[in-house]
Structure 1
Amino acid sequence: MGPRWFQKKVVDPLLLILRRGAEPKQLAFSAALGITLGVFPICGVTVFLCGMAIGLLGSRCHAPTAMLANFIATPVELSLVVPFLRLGEVISGGSHFPLTSDALKKVLTGQASREVLQSIWHAVFGWLVAAPFILAMLHILFFPCFNILIRKFSTGPPSPKKTLSSPSEVRVKVRDA
């Protein structure tokens, strides 16, 4: 993975997103959501979670940005499994799962299945507790970044906001019976 790979997989898609004129607030939220879901402590589940979130949030979430952020978060995901595990253990008062070669041997031979399931639960619980803070912190951090990036790279005006300037703009569609 060299600079060429990074350019093709991260920089080029980001520039494409910025040039399409999306709203900075939506992009900041979508990127924060993608990363927050991307660090979920069970590998292989994050794309599914991100897809579900995009489906549930609809137009409030910019799907390409959320998925790109989810992809970018993949290396960080593995580095946060142990901190989420320890946080979950502390908050739940659960037993400490030893991360030793002996514990790995027990896991591989099937002798520690209950402990493994419990540690997975603790890691997910730790993520559930931390996720709102991660999301909020990243959203606050990303908003000014996307404001600057959109001004620098956008080729057109931002997409129009869907606000009504007066009540007369509200139209009711009546169907003939």
Structure 2
Amino acid sequence: MSYSPAPVPAPPVAPATPPSWWRRRVVEPVLNILRQGLTPKQLSLTVALGVVFGLVPILGITTLLGTATAVRLRLNVAALLLVSHLMSPVQLLLIIPLMKLGAKLIGSGTGPELTLEQLQHLFGTDWQQALHLLWQAGLGALLIWAVASVPLALLLNFGLRPLFRRLLARQSRVTE
């Protein structure tokens, strides 16, 4: 009779660490988009328009603009909306300065300046004047955004194409 030692138990496997929020919400969706067979031209246009629409200084219209444009141009709607909503922190940082500039641009220059104190005073005394000031500020901010968005979109669109060509080429080599 031969003696066989008792089997040595395998060391416990440490549970895999769950992917981070950044990886789950940003990196993986972007990689999935790259795997969908879009051309570098489509990808760069999607990102460029997503950035531009993500910076629009009017809250609440980013999704509408992005969806309508993506459907019209036959781009990936989810990718464009992902990029545009990732721009939300920058949008929030830019909205107040753009509205202040917009109020100066559209306003006659003799009206009240757009400040929190001035708006509080106007809403307390003359809410119609306050709404008029906000309307002018929003319209001016939208005009500034429209003018600035054209060169930004062109720069991003043509600047990102070589990057996406390299990424897609690398992606196709990995899958082969």
- Select the structure with the greater relative contact order (CA < 8 A; seq sep ≥ 6): 1
SS at match of 1:143: helix
Task: Give, in whole Å, the separation in 1 of the partners of 2:120 and 2:137.
Answer: 16
Q: Are 1:118 and 2:136 an aligned pair?
A: yes
Question: Could you report, residue by residue, the CA deviation over 1:106-133 in whole angstroms, capped at 9, with x for unpaired residues?
Answer: 3654351211111011111111111111
Q: What is the identity, as a one-letter code, of the residue corresponding to 1:134?
A: L
TM-score of the superposed pair, with normalisation by structure 2: 0.74
- The yes-or-no answer on 1:141 pairing with 2:155 is no
Distance 1:94 1:32, change over 3 A: farther
Asked if 2 retains the 8 angstrom alpha-carbon contact of 1:86 and 1:126, the reply is no
In 1, the alpha carbon distance for the partners of 2:112 and 2:157 equals 33
Q: Summarize the Cα distance change of 1:89–1:19 in structure 2 as closer, same or farther, 3 Å threshold.
A: same
| TM-score for both structures, normalised by structure 1 | 0.74
Based on CA coordinates, which of the two structures has the bigger radius of gyration? 2
Alpha-carbon distance in structure 2 between the residues aligned to 1:100 and 1:87 = 12
Q: AA paired with 2:29?
A: P
What is the RMSD of the two structures over their aligned residues, measured on CA atoms? 2.6
Q: Which residue of 2 aligns with 1:85?
A: 99
The answer for unaligned runs of 5 or more in structure 1 is: 158-177
The aligned runs of 1:91-170 (5 Å cut-off) are 94-95=108-109, 98-106=113-121, 108-109=123-124, 110=127, 112-154=130-172
90 and 119 in structure 1: CA distance in 2 versus 1, 3 angstrom threshold:
closer
Aligned partners of 2:132, 2:84: CA distance in 1, in Å?
30
1:44 maps onto 2:60 in alignment: yes
CA drift of 1:10 comes to 0.8
- Equivalent residues in 2 for 1:63-78, closer than 5 Å: 63-78=77-92
User: Which amino acid is 1:55 matched to?
Assistant: V
Task: Note the alpha carbon deviations across 1:67-110, whole angstroms, 9 max, x for none.
Answer: 21112111111122244335545665753863433124136543
Q: Is the 8 A contact 1:31 1:69 kept in 2?
A: yes
How many residues align structurally? 153
CA distance in 2, matches of 1:153, 1:51: 27
Unaligned 5+ segments in structure 2 are: 1-18
